[in-house]
Amino acid sequence: MDKELYLCCYDRLFAIKARAKNSYSYDLSAEQVERLKTLFDNLDRPEKFDLAPANSRVVIEIGGEQFNISNYNT
């Protein structure tokens, strides 16, 4: 089972990693991958995102868990 999940925006890949209490990034568990894939697949997404390109780590919280979103294409 893959433990990697990415978001694609502006032809750049953003890695989704589990966020530890010390803010470090860790590989997702197989359960987290499946849960996030299901969540993202069920979202109504616009065809185009009107966002500025990012080149740093952001933190999102989903279902009480925090995840680091990182772009390594800088």
How many domains does the chain fold into? 1
Between 25 and 56, the more confident residue is 25
Cβ atoms within 10 Å, residue 70: 19
Amino acid sitting at position 32: Q
Alpha helices (runs of H) in 1-74, residue ranges in sequence order: 30-41
What is this structure's pTM? 0.66
Location of structure tokens 């969540």: 39
Cα separation, 22 vs 73, in Å, equals 24
Confidence of residue 28 (pLDDT cuts 50, 70, 90): very high
Which residues form the domain of 65?
5-71
Q: Contact, 35 vs 41, CB < 8 A?
A: no
